[in-house]
């Protein structure tokens, strides 16, 4: 096709998309003035971000799994939300908020905690996001807060935290373990009953254009409320756990768990998702920074459960059903989760102070093995190792402990 018949090229930046929208909104959407301009700006910003992520993923510039081309987002299947960044965004008293176009709205919960910070000048509201969740309209504020320098209660204490399904968290210092509340499993019986009630009613069918009945909507809302409550209880329990740990210990050591691979086990996927391992690590990362501590993340291939915390011997195999660790070398017998937590805590003393994630070598020397070619110094002719993908000329050593501080 000639260039004159092709669609003119358009930049994917937020500025270009908004400029194109402003030029066409009178023709394609004459009703645009009835809503806040932030509703359109929010959608354009998300579109620009999605296109950028797809482009960088295709070029190999973005870490993580491949990102596909943005698809149409239906308001019937996705949660509706809008972000306000300009206009009047403030708190009105302790029970009302003021938002652009929407005006003054009463809140179900009191806003006194945020209002006190705003009045004291230690917090400034930057934006507000309104979303529909479980049949309720929620508003969340993005706030710039001035935080005072904090120090953990025990700044020199080190604790290893081993996360699991049977017990949510086991600690290396003898602290009582945290039981797994299993919020979704507790609500499963009620969810089965409500799901049966939903299936027996006339639901929506997009192929035939059938609209859901009023009873189906009511039954579906009841089921969604149970899911929402289970998620809220899980989030509250994780916040309490991570806040307690970050406020007490100066150094916390956790594992780099491969959650995406763990949930592929169809027998454990629901229990692993219900525990929230990824959310625990995410909250510990920023809460330790807030409280003046540090989070050390052990390498993904570190055998914390198979290694003896007494002598350091590593077992070849350790079945998941074996809840007690028995060392054949030194005869140590203890709970496998406690053994893993002790191994995680011992990683901190292997870290060279002030030099980042450096570890002692296999012989116990307090330094790293110097860079060398294949075969080391025992070969007659020195060889130069091929460069790695990251440009480093050092050979990629296998079996080392990978630590990262956050």
Tens of pLDDT, residues 189-237 = 999 999 999 999 999 888 898 999 999 999 999 999 999 999 999 999 9
Per-residue pLDDT band for 247 (boundaries 50, 70, 90) equals: very high
pLDDT for position 377: 37
Query: Does residue 110 have a pLDDT over 80?
Result: yes
Cβ-based burial of 114 (10 A; exposed 0-12, middle 13-18, buried ≥19): middle
Percentage, residues of the chain above pLDDT 90 = 50
Q: Which long-range contacts (CB under 8 A, 24 or more apart) does 179-185 make?
A: 180/275, 181/233, 181/234, 181/237, 182/271, 182/274, 183/230, 183/231, 183/233, 183/234, 183/237, 183/274, 184/230, 184/234, 184/270, 184/273, 184/274, 185/270, 185/271, 185/274
DSSP string across 193-244: HHHHHHHTS---BTTTTBPPPHHHHHHHHHHHHHHHHHHHHHHHHHHHHHHH
319 has pLDDT over 90: no
pLDDT digits (tens, 9 = 90+) for 123-142: 999 999 999 888 889 999 99
Give catalytic residues, as residue numbers: 162, 255, 337
- The model's pTM: 0.76
294 DSSP β-pair partners: 251
pLDDT of residue 364: 38
pLDDT tens digit string along 253-285?
999 988 989 999 899 999 999 999 999 999 999
Please give the pLDDT value at position 47. Answer: 92
Give the whole-angstrom CA distance, residue 304 versus residue 315. Answer: 10
What is the mean predicted confidence (pLDDT) over 51-76?
Answer: 88
CB count within 10 Å of CB 339 equals 27
């Amino acid at each position: 096709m000639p260039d004159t018949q092709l669609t003119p090229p358009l930049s994917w930046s937020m500025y270009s998309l908004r400029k194109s929208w402003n030029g066409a909104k009178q023709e394609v959407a004459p009703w645009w003035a009835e809503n806040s301009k932030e509703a359109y700006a929010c959608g354009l910003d998300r579109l620009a971000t999605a296109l950028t992520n797809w482009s960088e993923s295709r070029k190999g510039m973005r870490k993580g799994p491949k990102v596909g081309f943005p698809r149409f987002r239906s308001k019937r299947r996705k949660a509706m939300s809008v972000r306000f960044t300009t206009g009047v965004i403030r708190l009105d008293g302790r029970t009302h908020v003021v938002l652009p176009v929407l005006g003054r709205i009463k809140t179900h919960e009191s806003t006194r905690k945020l209002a006190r910070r705003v009045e004291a000048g230690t917090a400034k509201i930057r934006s507000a996001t309104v979303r529909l969740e479980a049949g309720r309209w929620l508003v969340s504020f993005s706030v710039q807060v001035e935080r005072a320098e904090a120090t953990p209660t025990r700044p020199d204490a080190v604790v290893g935290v081993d996360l699991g399904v049977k017990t949510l968290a086991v600690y290396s210092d003898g602290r009582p373990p945290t039981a797994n509340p299993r919020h979704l499993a507790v609500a499963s019986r009620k969810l089965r009953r409500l799901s049966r009630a939903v299936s027996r009613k006339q639901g929506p069918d997009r192929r035939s254009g059938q609209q859901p009945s009023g009873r189906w909507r009511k039954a579906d809302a009841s089921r969604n409320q149970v899911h929402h409550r289970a998620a809220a209880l899980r989030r509250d329990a994780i916040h309490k756990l991570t806040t307690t740990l970050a406020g007490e210990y100066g150094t916390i050591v956790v594992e780099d768990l491969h959650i995406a691979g763990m949930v592929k086990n169809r027998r454990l996927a629901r229990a692993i998702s219900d525990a929230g391992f990824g959310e625990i690590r995410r909250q510990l990362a920023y809460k330790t920074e807030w409280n003046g501590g540090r989070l050390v993340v052990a390498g993904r291939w570190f055998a914390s459960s198979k290694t003896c915390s007494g002598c350091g011997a590593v077992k070849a195999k350790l079945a998941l059903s074996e809840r007690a660790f028995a060392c054949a070398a030194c005869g140590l017998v203890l709970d496998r989760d406690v053994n893993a937590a002790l191994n995680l805590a011992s990683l901190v003393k292997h870290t060279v102070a002030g030099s980042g994630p450096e570890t002692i070598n296999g012989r116990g020397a307090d330094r790293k093995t110097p860079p060398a070619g294949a075969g080391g110094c025992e070969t007659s002719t020195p060889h130069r190792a091929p460069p790695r993908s990251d440009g480093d000329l050092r050979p990629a050593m296998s079996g080392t402990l990978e630590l990262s501080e956050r």
